[in-house]
Structure 1
Amino acid sequence: MPTVTSFGQTKDGTETQLFTLSNAHGLTATITNYGGIITSLLVPDQAGQLGDIVLGFDKLADYQGEGPLASPYFGALIGRYGNRLKNGQFTLDGKKYQLAKNNGPNALHGGVKGFDKVVWQAEPGTSADGQTLKLTYLSKDGEEGYPGNLTATVVYTLINDDALKIDYTATTDKPTPLNLTNHSYFNLHHGQAKNNFGHVLTLNADRYTVVDNTLIPTGELRPVQGTPMDFRQPHAIGERLAKVEGPAPGGYDHNWVLNGQGMRAVATVYEPTTGRTMEMLTDQPGVQFYSGNFLDGKLKGKGGTVYNQHYGFCLETQHFPDSPNQPKFPSTILRPGETFKSTTIYKFGVRK
């Protein structure tokens, strides 16, 4: 069974816990029921030395920071709608809904108090695959402007063959947009690399969603061929960073249209110094690859580490941004009687 320790109280006095999942090879994943945040992920390098490969904080209070010291969603579960919705609006079955504009003119990652800032009900356990943590949250009708009572369940499993699996399910009593993801920032050099430039990324995607100057998709699905967005063959993240076009300052913050359907391998990251590899599998149609452009050195993370620009990267499996306002994109509307189900797996290894 996972171990459980206190993680302190939220600002409103709610108790939180840390749950540590482990396997026979020494891998550990530590997750808090505040925001479903992965606070630590210990993975061995080519010498067998464990290192923490996710960005985050040592204290709950830091995850609840505000203003310039607010957490940029380190390790958190994101909902109801991951990524951006144009003008904080959508129309569903003829009714217009207005959300908080918390990212310039747009709504981002579920609103002012999204799934990343609530306390989930937690149930640690074990399965045939490994130790588990089941998290459940009821998002009430009207919360952050979204319709319907939505029950979301996320199960983290630290699989015995060195993978972290995330299973998402959700049901609702009114039609509602839904786009769930996890926002972990990775640095496979166990926090010792000054940036992610040397990480080598492969991404199985022929197209990406072009965005406007507020990072909202224009509707165009542009081929990656001949652009810095082409990761169909391995490329270091820093290799073409300066050539990335668009409003994202200094790098990648785009959604790629993943090839294939159903559960499949979509991305691999290799860090040559440590030999660590991370393979990602998902059943989702897209992934937001974000190169940590907005990290600016103001945040001090675990052990006092300063998180400068490009210190970590994200691979957020998802439906496309702004899908409720883009009729040509795959639908993200969940209706009563339906059950949303999705799985993403991060599988770890080494190359020597």
Structure 2
Amino acid sequence: MNIESNQILGKWTEYTLSNDLGMRVSVLDFGGIITKIMVPDRNGNIENVVLGYRNYQDYQTNPNYFGALIGRVAGRIQGASFNLNDKTYTLAKNNGDNHLHGGPDGLHQIVWDVSPFQTDEEVGLTLTHRSADRDSGYPGNVEIKVTYTLTNHNQLILDYAAKSDQTTPLTLTNHAYFNLSGNLKTTIHDHHVTIDSSRFVELDPNLIPTGKLLDVEGTTFDFRGGRVLGNGFNNNFEQNKIADSGYDHYFIFDHAEAYQATLQDPVSGRVMLVTTNEPGVVMYTSNGLADGLPLAEGTSRKYLGVCFETQASPASLHHDGFPTVILNAGEPYQKQTVFTFRLEN
């Protein structure tokens, strides 16, 4: 187990966590951004399985949120406003008339305080930040702690903890784009996904939840038995068409299986298992990723990565029947998501 740190652009620090099996995870204090996850394929080749910029200065704007911590509220908030306890709160608009991923000054844009730690079996980073009352329009002073832990079982554990002095919306996530081919050798068309979910959230043409939950049965959104992502990269189903011929939808977990989601690449043999105590996940298949951005191992293009944004649903601010994002004053917020990397048998 090992931790290394390097100065980046004279203003940030990148930490690299290494375990005894050769897995490495690199994280910036800026935005809590995961810049690289290095894991072996079936032939022992250790390669990067997340998208990241070639030039670190591109993380300053990072419109694609590569690898970043997202909050206070992950996802879109309709109309950039919400009502809470008979009061209306107005947020920054950064996605048309809507508020996306905590706004332009969200948690992806701050430099976190970082404390590394190490034991015989794990190595990690504790990131802390105090988000002040009315940051980006949200009520409450919120103390936030996010812990990245790398184990000797090739697990990357993300623990999210927070407490607010006022009742406020809060749902945190990480926005890493995964591509298990390694070093971006291919798109994710042939990546095989399972999701333990029988219901997903219907979106309108602006990617805002309509308030309806749809049954996955008989659709390209039924991942309960597993399917390749390319099945949904089309306009044959209206909800795929709305998401620019892909997926950008919230799936509510049934929590009936050991893993809430799995991702497999048949060529490399890499498998990623996702376990979480979150109520659901936004799966985003980089449908809006522009061509030609200089990435660490090539150039960007559509369908180059898939995000598993484990979280509650911001639709709960405007509709009943969705997993709530409301954190009551003084109540502890404790969420965990674990990404376990293995090889196919």
TM-score by length of 2: 0.95
Paired position in structure 2 for 1:166:
158
Unaligned runs of 5+ in 1: 10-14
Instruction: State which of 97, 101, 105 in structure 2 corresponds to 1:105.
Output: 97
Number of residue pairs the alignment of both structures matches: 341
**Superposition deviation, residue 219 in structure 1:** 1.6
Does residue 113 of structure 2 align to residue 121 of structure 1? yes
How do residues 15-26 of structure 1 correspond to structure 2 at under 5 angstroms? 15-26=11-22
Question: Residues of 1 paired with 2:131 and 2:120: CA distance?
Answer: 30
How do residues 279-318 of structure 1 correspond to structure 2 at under 5 angstroms? 279-303=273-297, 305-318=298-311
**Superposition deviation, residue 128 in structure 1:** 6.0
The residue type equivalent to 2:204 in the other structure is D
| Equivalent pair of 2:168/2:329 in contact (CA under 8 Å) | no
**Superposition deviation, residue 295 in structure 1:** 0.9
Question: Residues of 1 paired with 2:39 and 2:166: CA distance?
Answer: 41
Question: Residues of 1 paired with 2:84 and 2:156: CA distance?
Answer: 35
| Equivalent pair of 1:7/1:59 in contact (CA under 8 Å) | no
**Superposition deviation, residue 212 in structure 1:** 1.2
Bigger CA drift: 216-225 or 24-33? 216-225
TM-score by length of 1: 0.94
The residue type equivalent to 1:119 in the other structure is V
Question: Residues of 1 paired with 2:46 and 2:126: CA distance?
Answer: 25
Paired position in structure 1 for 2:82:
90
**Superposition deviation, residue 111 in structure 1:** 0.3
**Superposition deviation, residue 16 in structure 1:** 1.3
**Superposition deviation, residue 126 in structure 1:** 1.6
**Superposition deviation, residue 338 in structure 1:** 0.7
How do residues 1-352 of structure 1 correspond to structure 2 at under 5 angstroms? 1-9=2-10, 15-65=11-61, 70-127=62-119, 129-242=121-234, 243-246=236-239, 247-260=242-255, 264-303=258-297, 305-352=298-345
Question: Residues of 1 paired with 2:246 and 2:179: CA distance?
Answer: 16
**Superposition deviation, residue 192 in structure 1:** 3.3
**Superposition deviation, residue 322 in structure 1:** 2.3
Q: Residue 87 of structure 1 aligns to a residue in which SS?
A: helix
| Equivalent pair of 1:264/1:283 in contact (CA under 8 Å) | no
Q: Residue 331 of structure 2 aligns to a residue in which SS?
A: coil
Question: Residues of 2 paired with 1:288 and 1:85: CA distance?
Answer: 14
**Superposition deviation, residue 159 in structure 1:** 1.2
Deviation track 1:33-60 (CA, whole Å, cap 9, x = no partner) reads 1000000000000011101000011333
Bigger CA drift: 294-303 or 160-169? 294-303
**Superposition deviation, residue 311 in structure 1:** 0.7
Question: Residues of 1 paired with 2:186 and 2:210: CA distance?
Answer: 34
Deviation track 1:83-106 (CA, whole Å, cap 9, x = no partner) reads 010000101111100111111121
| Equivalent pair of 1:244/1:251 in contact (CA under 8 Å) | no
| Equivalent pair of 1:264/1:282 in contact (CA under 8 Å) | no
Q: Residue 294 of structure 1 aligns to a residue in which SS?
A: coil
Q: Residue 267 of structure 2 aligns to a residue in which SS?
A: coil
Q: Which runs of 4+ in 1 moved over 3 A?
A: none
**Superposition deviation, residue 129 in structure 1:** 4.4
Bigger CA drift: 179-188 or 233-242? 233-242
Question: Residues of 1 paired with 2:52 and 2:333: CA distance?
Answer: 29
| Equivalent pair of 1:228/1:241 in contact (CA under 8 Å) | no
Q: Residue 322 of structure 1 aligns to a residue in which SS?
A: helix
Question: Residues of 1 paired with 2:185 and 2:248: CA distance?
Answer: 21
**Superposition deviation, residue 260 in structure 1:** 2.0
**Superposition deviation, residue 245 in structure 1:** 2.0
The residue type equivalent to 2:266 in the other structure is P
- Please report the RMSD computed on the Cα atoms of aligned residues, expressed in angstroms: 1.5
Change (3 A) 1:344 1:129: farther
**Percent identity, aligned pairs only?**
38
| Equivalent pair of 1:290/1:315 in contact (CA under 8 Å) | yes
**Superposition deviation, residue 240 in structure 1:** 3.1
Question: Residues of 1 paired with 2:190 and 2:287: CA distance?
Answer: 15
**Superposition deviation, residue 127 in structure 1:** 4.1
The residue type equivalent to 1:202 in the other structure is T
| Equivalent pair of 2:202/2:213 in contact (CA under 8 Å) | yes
The residue type equivalent to 2:295 in the other structure is G
